[in-house]
Amino acid sequence: ETGVTQSPTHLIKTRGQQVTLRCSSQSGHNTVSWYQQALGQGPQFIFQYYREEENGRGNFPPRFSGLQFPNYSSELNVNALELDDSALYLCASSPWSGTGELFFGEGSRLTVL
């Protein structure tokens, strides 16, 4: 059984640029959630995708957007990067929307200079 995989693992961007992070869900899972974890804090919910549609969103501005594809993989896009966007971005998949156990990938560490 393949677990959740994320890419890239590390990346450096400059303020104002755009970034795309990718996530492949665990086999058999159709729901993907994205979390942002700033240094020294717990993960914060960004949004969730179920059947290719956004199914819940946390307190993040519209420049954070996402997609889910028919194979349940997902992308997180962040436009107009700010210094405070520097964080570990975690993707989790679960077997169904709203009630499933979360399984996390290794994360993508973004540094904005």
Partner 1 sequence: GIQVEQSPPDLILQEGANSTLRCNFSDSVNNLQWFHQNPWGQLINLFYIPSGTKQNGRLSATTVATERYSLLYISSSQTTDSGVYFCAVENYGQNFVFGPGTRLSVLP
| Whole-number Å distance between alpha carbons of 108 and 113 | 16
Q: Of the two residues 70 and 99, which places its CB atom closer to partner 1 in the complex?
A: 99
DSSP 3-55: --EEE-SEEEE-TT--EEEEEEPPTT--EEEEEEE-TTS--EEEEEEETTEEE
Q: Of the two residues 42 and 70, which places its CB atom closer to partner 1 in the complex?
A: 42
Residues within the interface to partner 1 (CB under 8 A): 33, 35, 37, 41-45, 48, 56, 58, 88, 90, 92, 98-99, 101-107, 109
* Minimum CB distance to partner 1, residue 2 (Å): 15
* Minimum CB distance to partner 1, residue 16 (Å): 26
